[in-house]
C-alpha cells in the first residue's frame, strides 16, 4: 500500500514538468515558424523590389500625338520610378505623365510580367495666348515649350482665356463666309475687342454687340475694297456708320474718313 502511494506521488510531480516542457517546445517551434515567415517575407519583398530581378523592361506608349517628346517622357518615368515592376507606383506615374505640358489626359496600367502601358491624349492647340502660352479648345492654357506654331494670337487679362476664345470662335465662324480670317485678337482690361485680320486690317469692335459690329464690317467691306486706297483700320463703335483709316502708299501715312 505504501509503495503504491509513493508511485502516485511521483507521477503527480512529473506531469507538470512534462507539460512545461511540451509548452516550451511548442512556443519555441512557433517562434521558429514565425521567424521563418518574417525572414521569408523580407527576402520576398527584397526580391520584388529589386529592379535587377523584376525590371520594367518595356514602357509602351500609345495614342495620337505629334508634339509629346516620348523619349524624354520615358527618361522622366524611369528616373522617378527606378524600382522593379512590383515596386512601380501606377498613380505616381499617372500624375507625372499628366503634369507634362503637351499631355491633356493619360491612362497608366501595368501588364505582366514587365510592361508599363501608357495611353496619351495630346493637347490640341487652337491659339497662342499672351505669346508665352497656348490655348486648347476648352480655353485652358498650357506651356508652348518654345514651339513655334502658325496659330492665331490672342491677348487678354488673366482669367479671360475662355471669354477671349469664345469670342474668337464666334468671329471666326462669322468670317468663314468670307475670304478673311483673324490673325490677332485683343481683349482689353475693360473687355473691349480689337481684331487684326490676316490682311492687316484692324477692327475696333468695342465692348458690346461685337458680333453685330463685325457683321456690319462684312456688309460694308465690299464697298471699301473698291476704293483705290487700302484699308488700314475700321472703327465700328458707332451706332450708325464706321470710321475708316486708309493707307496712303505715297506718303506711307494714314488718312481717316467717317
List alpha helices for the chain, DSSP H: 2-49, 70-80, 90-98, 161-175, 210-225
Q: How many CA atoms lie within 13 A of 57 on its CB side?
A: 7
Give the predicted TM-score (pTM) of the model: 0.75
Q: Which three cell numbers stand for residue 205?
A: 469692335
Tell whether the model's pLDDT for residue 257 goes beyond 70: no
The mean per-residue pLDDT over the stretch 108-116 comes to: 95
| Residue 234: all three cell numbers together | 475700321
Q: Residue 50's pLDDT is what?
A: 45
For residue 36, the Cα-to-chain-centroid distance in whole angstroms is: 48
First to last CA, the chain: 143
Rounded CA gap, 100 and 96, in Å?
7
Mean pLDDT score of the chain: 86
pLDDT class of 220 with cuts at 50, 70, 90: very high
C-beta of residue 233 within 8 angstroms of C-beta of residue 204: yes
How far is Cα 130 from Cα 193, in angstroms, rounded to an integer? 15
Q: Over 80: is that where the pLDDT of 15 sits?
A: no
CATH of domain 127-257: 3.40.50.11690
Would the pLDDT of 8 be above 60? Answer: no
pLDDT at 228: 87
Domain range list for the chain: 58-122, 127-257
DSSP 126-185: -EEETTTEEE-TTS-EEE-TT------EEE--TT-HHHHHHHHHHHHHHHTTSS--EEEE
pLDDT of 239: 86
User: Distance between CA atoms of 83 and 89, rounded to whole angstroms?
Assistant: 9
With bands split at pLDDT 50, 70 and 90, how would you rate the model's confidence at 53?
low
**Which of 8-22, 34-48, 49-63, 94-108 ranks highest by mean pLDDT?**
94-108
State how far the alpha carbon of 255 is from the alpha carbons of 195, 218, 228, 230, 232, in Å: 20, 21, 13, 10, 9
pLDDT of 43 strictly over 50: no
How far is 158 from 57, CA to CA, in rounded Å? 44
What letter does residue 240 receive in the DSSP assignment?
A: S
Closest by Cα among 104, 33, 103 to 72: 103
The pLDDT of residue 161 is above 50: yes
C-alpha torsion angle, residues 70, 76, 79, 85 (rounded to 10): -60
Domain 58-122 in CATH 2.30.40.10? The answer is: no
Amino acid at each position: 500500500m505504501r509503495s503504491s502511494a509513493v508511485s502516485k506521488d511521483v507521477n503527480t510531480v512529473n506531469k507538470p514538468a512534462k507539460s512545461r516542457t511540451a509548452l516550451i517546445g511548442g512556443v519555441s517551434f512557433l517562434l521558429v515558424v514565425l521567424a521563418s515567415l518574417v525572414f521569408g517575407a523580407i527576402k520576398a519583398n527584397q526580391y520584388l523590389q529589386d529592379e535587377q530581378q523584376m525590371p520594367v523592361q518595356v514602357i509602351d506608349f500609345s495614342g495620337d500625338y505629334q508634339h509629346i517628346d516620348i523619349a524624354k517622357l520615358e527618361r522622366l518615368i524611369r528616373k522617378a520610378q527606378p524600382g522593379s515592376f512590383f515596386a512601380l507606383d501606377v498613380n505616381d506615374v499617372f500624375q507625372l505623365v499628366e503634369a507634362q505640358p503637351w499631355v491633356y489626359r493619360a491612362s497608366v496600367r501595368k501588364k505582366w510580367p514587365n510592361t508599363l502601358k501608357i495611353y496619351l491624349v495630346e493637347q490640341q492647340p487652337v491659339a497662342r495666348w499672351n505669346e508665352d502660352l497656348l490655348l486648347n479648345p476648352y480655353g485652358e492654357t498650357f506651356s508652348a515649350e518654345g514651339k513655334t506654331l502658325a496659330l492665331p494670337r490672342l491677348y487678354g487679362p488673366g482669367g479671360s482665356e475662355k471669354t477671349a476664345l469664345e469670342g474668337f470662335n464666334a468671329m471666326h465662324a462669322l468670317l468663314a463666309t468670307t475670304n478673311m480670317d483673324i490673325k490677332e485678337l485683343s481683349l482689353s482690361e475693360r473687355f473691349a475687342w480689337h481684331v487684326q485680320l490676316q490682311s492687316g486690317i484692324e477692327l475696333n469692335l468695342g465692348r458690346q454687340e461685337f458680333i453685330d459690329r463685325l457683321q456690319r464690317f462684312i456688309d460694308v467691306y465690299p464697298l471699301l475694297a473698291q476704293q483705290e486706297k487700302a484699308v488700314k483700320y475700321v472703327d465700328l463703335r458707332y451706332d450708325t456708320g464706321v470710321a475708316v483709316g486708309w493707307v496712303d502708299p505715297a506718303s506711307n501715312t494714314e488718312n481717316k474718313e467717317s
